Amino acid sequence: MRLGSEEHKNRFCRFFIDTHKPFQPEDLPWPELNEATVKKLAGFPIWDYAVHTERQVFNKLTAYAETVPDPLLKEALALQGYEEGRHADILKYFLKRYGIPFKEIPDKRLPKNLEWCFLSTGAGECIDSFFAFGFLEISKSTDDYPIELINAMEPIVQEEARHILFIQNWMLYQRFKRPFFLQPWHALTTLFAFADAGYRRLKDLGSLGGTSFTIHAREIEGSSLSPKAFINLCHKENRRRLAPYDPELVRPRLIPRIMKVVQSCL
Ligand SMILES: [Fe+2]
Ligand SMILES: [Fe+2]
């Protein structure tokens, strides 16, 4: 399969559409939680921001999908937008169900360049997911949260694996369908999107801001895993989560490669 070809486009769009799971937030197997767990969850300062972020991604993707003329690509992009909107709805359902208070942050105006917007959001998702898959495995092995709650969230986590596989192939498709001399410019733009998303996350971490990424990063400090072992776990989980899908599709590689370098320096 040639990257940037019609076959490439058909494969990454079809994989995405065919593996979509229809369900509603209330269909997930929500467990009963004790008061202490609910109190602990309510103490996280991330909920307003988390709902807002998912909602913004829904808005961006839905608007971007509208501008794409290719019907198959449009359908796949709109579907990812739908899934992001469902993430916001799942979070809201979860918060309401357990009586955790949150404030709705009003939607922000969308930027003009919607393709760049998807590229930069996608780069952020690739970074977050690489680590989130590892964090989730750690949470399963500690008693911090009931395993039933972690399992209820499983379909959402697996959806993020599908998203990053789609995003990686969409990025490559956008690059390789361009004339040869324009491809390096696209590669640079992608690199910039990753650098920007990475910088924003490091800034959050430095200021101990309220993102879930930060909260999890602080949690790992309390676990017995060494940073090297944690990165190993992330690599393993990334491979495992992406394994069920079309082997011809290119797996996200920038963050795993960077983390291999980081690992060799540890
Ligand atoms: Fe999401
Ligand atoms: Fe996503």
What CATH number does the domain containing 245 carry?
A: 1.10.620
pLDDT band of residue 220 (cuts 50, 70, 90) is low
Integer Cα distance of 153 and 50 in angstroms: 14
Residue 158: pLDDT over 60: yes
Residue 147 forms part of a structural domain = yes
Integer Cα distance of 239 and 161 in angstroms: 10
Compare 206 and 16 and report the one with higher pLDDT. 16
Residue 237 forms part of a structural domain = yes
pTM for the whole structure: 0.91
pLDDT band of residue 227 (cuts 50, 70, 90) is confident
Q: Cα of 85 to ligand 2 centre, how many Å?
A: 10
Q: Cα of 163 to ligand 2 centre, how many Å?
A: 5
Q: Cα of 236 to ligand 1 centre, how many Å?
A: 21
Q: Cα of 106 to ligand 2 centre, how many Å?
A: 20
Q: Cα of 87 to ligand 1 centre, how many Å?
A: 5
Integer Cα distance of 72 and 150 in angstroms: 33
pLDDT band of residue 138 (cuts 50, 70, 90) is confident
Residue 204: pLDDT over 80: no
Residue 38 forms part of a structural domain = yes
Nearest one of 261, 256, 264 to 127, comparing CA atoms? 256
Q: Cα of 84 to ligand 2 centre, how many Å?
A: 6
Domain span at residue 117?
A: 6-265
Q: Cα of 202 to ligand 2 centre, how many Å?
A: 20
Lowest mean pLDDT among 11-25, 49-63, 224-238: 224-238
Residue 91: pLDDT over 80: yes
Q: Computed from CA positions of residues 247, 250, 254, 258, in that sequence, does the dihedral angle turn out positive or negative? A: positive
Residue 217: pLDDT over 60: no
| Nearest ligand, measured from the Cα of 51 | 1
Across residues 129-150, what is the average pLDDT? 86
Residue 1 forms part of a structural domain = no
Residue 205 forms part of a structural domain = yes
Integer Cα distance of 91 and 56 in angstroms: 14
Dig out the tokens for 158 from the structure.
């697996």
Residue 97 forms part of a structural domain = yes
> Structural domain tally of the chain?
1
SS3 category, 178? coil
With a pLDDT cut of 70, the percent of the chain lying above it is: 92
